[in-house]
A and B are shown apart, each in its own frame.
Chain A
């Protein structure tokens, strides 16, 4: 019975059954129960406490996971491709594959490492299909990029910071904002931007580097300040 606590006397064995449609809520409840159980067991209130859950607990919803982790997955694919067009395309293929797995009843937990493997497979297929038309990093670099994402899931678990980022963009000069726009919204290469602006490639690169660094620092600062209230 969701939300009910079984009446139990000291020394009794208790079986607790719950059923919650939402997978994350079920997981959160299970974790809370384990804390409670640990407390009760410590003071010998209960001998043992067994938690079970309904099917929803054992059938994490891949589709929902996909939507929740979209940004993290897209980030990973972008790190492999360094091209937002390609990343979006590969993400679509990845999503399709994951949806097919979801339809086949596949259960995956944790989701993100598995989804990254799927994405990497789709990336390989994409590279094979494009042949020489696409620049590919060396296998060594791809491996270490994948390792970096494996090790740092917490970064993508942290909330995104669009409002801070938008505010920080306003602090940049108009010219730098235009440059960032061309690079990250228009998908222009640095040489293309340099040609359009009449700058050297190096000058554009230095300006973009400084802008990225400034944005990173600014977003961190604003996030910290907001956290401090």
Chain B
């Protein structure tokens, strides 16, 4: 009976015809039966595959339609503003060119390496996000869509409000900012990016021997083998900032070149000395995009900003003036016997700073669904990881989360979902944190001893 009802509800849900009551019933059935949950996933997979196959067929059917230029270069294309009706017409244009391309995408997605290839030119990269960007291929122009494959010779303009993110198969990723134009080239297997104007940022995977990735502007050429960089071409001068690795920057006007190392910047411009200098003390983010947006938090159950200058509740650490806009923060205690820089809070928190409990059953926060630990950190230099852990009273062990390669040299806000903390004990790694249990302390650790780690504005609160 349940099975028949489940199938009926699932079908209604698939067609958007289920009432709120029926959706509630569907949720209840899914909750109690793992087979139903599996079926839901299988059904979804079928629908997504069906969507892909039908799109592919549609594009193949329209492949004979000639592509047309659609708008002038200066126009902006609100790619996300498309609605279904509008999409019907806008689809017709990219689909004319994309007939072959989409099939190639489908081949990739469906892992059919031996399938027929309908695209004559070999794609060299793929657009990941293309809000408002325009693709110029030969004499043609068209709005660029996320997921579209890019060919050697393609030019992309972001316009005044656009942004273009694309990646190569080896993981190299680039972000082109607004008001920028870039041209992609395949240089006998090597990657070449011509920045006509504007600014881009890149993270470059290690390149094959003899095939470095080359960035060119009118004023300079940067040759890289694997690094993170930011390149800007403004008013005839090219600024290069290197966050990781080493880049050779050659000036076009006289051929003079210079190696720019990690943490350095150089400007190539006629009549200006070509030297690499250290980036400003407070380095910028490598890419001009923020990390994941921070989640808005609800009422905190734990909040510590160290502004009162007291060390109450923190077993290790020193209160020091903060240079992040607040008065104080807590800094790693120098401990000769510690292999890690560490700051601990402890069970010895005074009761008036605890949300509840007695000395025998103290906690600094309770595990609640969707709880988030937010804090600001500053690490002096590169560290492999920033480990945050706490001891869980009821589950009787430490649970931890490691932020791999935390940002060094500047204050950074981190948000961690507490339910993603892992059990410290490898055999119990799969054991999830239980709601309603309590952490009796909180510890922050990073790098080697004597490395400066500062923490500020520690908050545990539900996501709003």
Mark A residues whose CB is within 8 Å of B: 21, 61-64, 67, 70-71, 74-76, 78-79, 82, 84-85, 88-89, 91-93, 95-97, 99-107, 117-118, 121, 125, 135, 137-138, 140-141, 144-145, 147-149, 151-152, 155-156, 159-163, 165-166, 169, 180-181, 183-190, 201, 204-205, 208-209, 212, 215-216, 219
Given pairs A85-B84, A103-B289, A137-B23, 14 additional interface contacts (CB within 8 A) = A64-B170, A67-B126, A78-B44, A96-B129, A100-B289, A106-B405, A145-B40, A151-B37, A160-B109, A162-B112, A187-B87, A212-B43, A215-B46, A215-B50
Separation of A159 and B111 alpha carbons in the complex (Å): 7
**In the complex, chain B residues whose CB is within 8 Å of the CB of A71:** 48-49, 52, 109-110
**In the complex, chain B residues whose CB is within 8 Å of the CB of A183:** 15
The verdict on B1 contacting chain A, using a C-beta distance below 8 Å, is no
Q: Is the interface of A mostly helix, strand, loop or mixed?
A: helix
In the complex with contacts A138-B24, A160-B111, A180-B50, A85-B87 CB distance below 8 A:
yes
| A216 engages B46 (CB within 8 Å) | yes
The verdict on B211 contacting chain A, using a C-beta distance below 8 Å, is no
| A212 engages B46 (CB within 8 Å) | yes
Separation of A97 and B165 alpha carbons in the complex (Å): 11
Q: Which of B38, B41, B292 contacts A101 (CB 8 A)?
A: B292
Separation of A82 and B172 alpha carbons in the complex (Å): 32
The verdict on B287 contacting chain A, using a C-beta distance below 8 Å, is yes
* Subset of 9 A-B contacts with CB under 8 Å: A67-B108, A71-B48, A95-B165, A103-B203, A152-B41, A155-B42, A155-B45, A190-B16, A216-B46
**In the complex, chain A residues whose CB is within 8 Å of the CB of B420:** 117
**In the complex, chain A residues whose CB is within 8 Å of the CB of B17:** 190, 201, 205
Separation of A148 and B128 alpha carbons in the complex (Å): 27
**In the complex, chain B residues whose CB is within 8 Å of the CB of A78:** 44, 47-48, 51
| A82 engages B13 (CB within 8 Å) | yes
**In the complex, chain B residues whose CB is within 8 Å of the CB of A209:** 11, 14-15
How many Å from the CB of B185 to the closest CB on chain A?
20
| B37 engages A147 (CB within 8 Å) | yes
**In the complex, chain B residues whose CB is within 8 Å of the CB of A188:** 84
* Tally of contact residues, B, Cβ under 8 A: 79
In the complex with contacts A63-B167, A64-B171, A137-B23, A125-B47 CB distance below 8 A:
no
**In the complex, chain B residues whose CB is within 8 Å of the CB of A21:** 206
Q: What mask results when residues 49 to 63 of chain B are scored 1 for a CB within 8 Å of chain A, else 0?
A: 111111111100000
How many Å from the CB of B426 to the closest CB on chain A?
15
> What are the 7 closest A-B residue pairs judged by CB atoms, nearest first?
A148-B37, A185-B54, A160-B110, A105-B405, A61-B171, A141-B27, A209-B11
**In the complex, chain A residues whose CB is within 8 Å of the CB of B55:** 185
| B54 engages A181 (CB within 8 Å) | yes
| B44 engages A79 (CB within 8 Å) | yes
| B45 engages A156 (CB within 8 Å) | yes
The verdict on B277 contacting chain A, using a C-beta distance below 8 Å, is no
Separation of A181 and B31 alpha carbons in the complex (Å): 32
**In the complex, chain A residues whose CB is within 8 Å of the CB of B40:** 79, 145, 148
**In the complex, chain A residues whose CB is within 8 Å of the CB of B14:** 82, 208-209, 212
**In the complex, chain B residues whose CB is within 8 Å of the CB of A180:** 50, 54
How many Å from the CB of B85 to the closest CB on chain A?
10
The verdict on B360 contacting chain A, using a C-beta distance below 8 Å, is no
| B30 engages A148 (CB within 8 Å) | yes
**In the complex, chain A residues whose CB is within 8 Å of the CB of B404:** 105-107
| B52 engages A162 (CB within 8 Å) | yes
**In the complex, chain A residues whose CB is within 8 Å of the CB of B128:** 92, 95-96, 99
**In the complex, chain B residues whose CB is within 8 Å of the CB of A215:** 46, 50
**In the complex, chain A residues whose CB is within 8 Å of the CB of B52:** 71, 160, 162
In the complex with contacts A89-B80, A92-B129, A163-B112 CB distance below 8 A:
yes
Separation of A43 and B127 alpha carbons in the complex (Å): 53
| A165 engages B37 (CB within 8 Å) | no
**In the complex, chain A residues whose CB is within 8 Å of the CB of B287:** 100, 103-104
Q: Which of A64, A74, A141, A166 contacts B169 (CB 8 A)?
A: A64
**In the complex, chain B residues whose CB is within 8 Å of the CB of A104:** 285-287, 291, 405, 407
| A95 engages B51 (CB within 8 Å) | no
| A161 engages B49 (CB within 8 Å) | yes
**B51, B106, B206: most-surrounded residue (chain A CB, <10 A):** B51
Separation of A190 and B404 alpha carbons in the complex (Å): 47
**In the complex, chain A residues whose CB is within 8 Å of the CB of B15:** 183, 190, 204-205, 208-209
**In the complex, chain A residues whose CB is within 8 Å of the CB of B43:** 212, 216
Q: Which of A74, A148, A201 contacts B41 (CB 8 A)?
A: A148
The verdict on B245 contacting chain A, using a C-beta distance below 8 Å, is no
**B12, B34, B82, B292: most-surrounded residue (chain A CB, <10 A):** B292
